[in-house]
Amino acid sequence: MRVLHTSDWHLGQNFMGKSRVDEHQAFLSKLLHIINEKQIDVLLVSGDIFDTGTPPNYALELYYNFLKELSNIKTLLATIMTAGNHDSISTLKAPKQLLEVLNVHVITTGDADENNIIPIYKNEALASIVCAVPFLREGVIRASLGGETISQKEQLANSGIKAYYENCYTKALELKNNKQIPIIAMGHLTTVGSRSSQSERDIYIGGTIDIGGDYLASMFDYVALGHLHINQIVGNNQHVRYSGSPIPLSFSESKNTQKVNLVTFEENRMDIEELEIPLFRKLIVIKGDGETIKRELTQIEDKNCWIEVHIKDDNPMAANAEIREFASKSELTLLALKIDKSEKQLKSNELQVMSLDELSVEQVFERRLELEELEDKEFEKELLLNFKQVVSKVQSL
């Protein structure tokens, strides 16, 4: 049996005022090609299908057109999609029953009324079992948030998530009934020992979840994770993996190699192959003084790329204007230009301007709190905690 693991599509992302529609279209076309060519049996999408809870119409159109094309692939037994922290439950849940007719299973909340233990049958025989765990929101993993300290809330989150996975595993074992078939888990969270880029937000209160690859590896034959945008193995557990995002979602990811994971189960063997996804558009980061940056800009032949520049120059304002004019004449798209201040410039207390596109919602709030210079640090933590709870509730609508 062949399983294809992907995640973190972030359809509809607005990147510094630019649409990613062409890049996402190219990725979904490549994904369809892989499913056909490799004769994939099961497609797993581990969360963050959309970038926001209210995706633009073109993103919804991409999504539904892709699912329609999947229905034409006769070798594909099932597609299983789980909600991530960016996804709206109502958006994904609305067509749920209709999509099941197309063998597309969408798991949104992980609530008790949602059947997330999905058996996969091939040639009328049970071939595998998927524990489709979405991003587990506060209401699912905690009985109550009131009255506890931040440390206690983190402990409740850890124990709640672990109990959820253990319960899924127990149900899967009952269904397996001693058959020699793999049990696969999906998840959308940050694990201990994994690497993140700068574009993922903390998704649980306090941001600390003490769940590692060893814990998940002890139960499941393969764990298909989402949320982190770097394709990676968790710790030393070859079968606990993030697929990463199919396109770079921030300039901090410009050097990543985008991949999906192909997992092949054959008798008592499991092979995992990382399949590279070619980029429709590159993100390029250039650092240096004005002359160094202009010299590197002249070497860029791909006019389709997007560029971020970090200037470290004795006269940054003049270099800023020169670089922008140079990029424009070279027909290059310069999306961000940042000034890396020298010690001398920092002492002069010049104002550093940063676009809101470069900050998450939480980072904007944190910077606003810094301006208050609150002496009561516990109160400051509590304000941030309450803000994250509000954001989590808004994003789940």
**Using one digit for the tens of pLDDT, what is the confidence trace for 258-283?**
999 999 999 889 999 999 999 999 99
Domain limits for position 335: 282-358
Claim to verify: residue 268 and residue 302 sit in the same structural domain: no
- Together in a domain, 205 and 354: no
* Interval 76-90: pLDDT, tens: 999 999 999 999 999
**Would you tell me how many other CB atoms lie within 10 Å of the CB of residue 152?**
12
| Boundary residue ending a domain (228, 257, 276) | 276
3-state secondary structure of 87: coil
One domain for residues 394 and 287: no
Per-position pLDDT tens, the chain of length 397: 999 999 999 999 999 999 999 999 999 999 999 999 999 999 999 999 999 999 999 999 999 999 999 999 999 999 999 999 999 999 999 999 999 999 999 999 998 888 999 999 999 999 999 999 999 987 787 644 454 565 666 677 788 899 999 999 999 999 999 999 999 999 999 888 777 766 666 665 444 567 888 999 999 999 999 999 999 999 999 999 999 999 999 999 999 999 999 999 998 899 999 999 999 999 999 999 999 999 999 999 999 999 999 998 888 888 889 999 999 999 999 999 988 765 444 444 444 445 555 567 777 888 787 776 666 666 777 787 778 778 766 765 5
20 and 106 both lie in a single domain: yes
State the CATH number of the domain containing residue 120: 3.60.21.10
Is pTM beyond 0.75? Reply is yes
Contacts of 84 (CB under 8 A, 6+ apart): 7, 8, 46, 47, 48, 49, 134, 135, 188, 226, 227
Q: At what angle do helices 57-70 and 21-37 cross, to 10 degrees?
A: 10
Q: Is there a single domain that holds both residue 94 and residue 199?
A: yes
Q: Are 17 and 253 in contact (CB under 8 A)?
A: no
268 shares a domain with 308: no
Q: How far apart are CA 239 and CA 189, in angstroms?
A: 16
Q: How many domains does the chain have?
A: 3
Q: Which pLDDT belongs to residue 39?
A: 97
CA 339/CA 170 separation, integer angstroms? 54
120 and 175 fall within a common domain? yes
**What residues have CB less than 8 Å from 198, skipping those under 6 apart?**
250, 252
The pLDDT score that the predictor gives to residue 350 is: 43
Whether residue 230 sits in one domain with residue 173: yes
- Looking at residue 341, its pLDDT comes to 64
From 276, 301, 335, the end of a domain falls on 276
**Same domain flag for 57 and 144:** yes
Residue 108 CA to residue 80 CA, distance in Å, equals 11
Task: Report the alpha-carbon distance of residue 134 to residue 136 in Å, rounded.
Answer: 6
Is 124 found in the same domain as 111?
yes
Query: Which of 276, 291, 325 finishes a domain?
Result: 276
| Exposed/middle/buried for residue 102 (C-beta within 10 Å: 0-12, 13-18, 19+) | middle
Longest distance between any two alpha carbons in the chain, whole Å: 74
| Contact call for residues 3 and 41 (beta carbons, < 8 A) | yes
CB atoms under 10 Å from CB of 53, counted, come to: 16
* Residue 215 sits in the same domain as residue 159: yes
Whether the Cβ atoms of residue 49 and residue 95 lie closer than 8 Å to each other: no
Distances 215 to 155, 166, 185, 191 between C-alpha atoms, Å: 16, 10, 12, 10
Task: Report the distance separating Cα 246 and Cα 220, nearest Å.
Answer: 25
Between helix 361-372 and helix 377-395 the angle, nearest 10°, is: 160
Q: Are residues 145 and 15 in the same domain?
A: yes
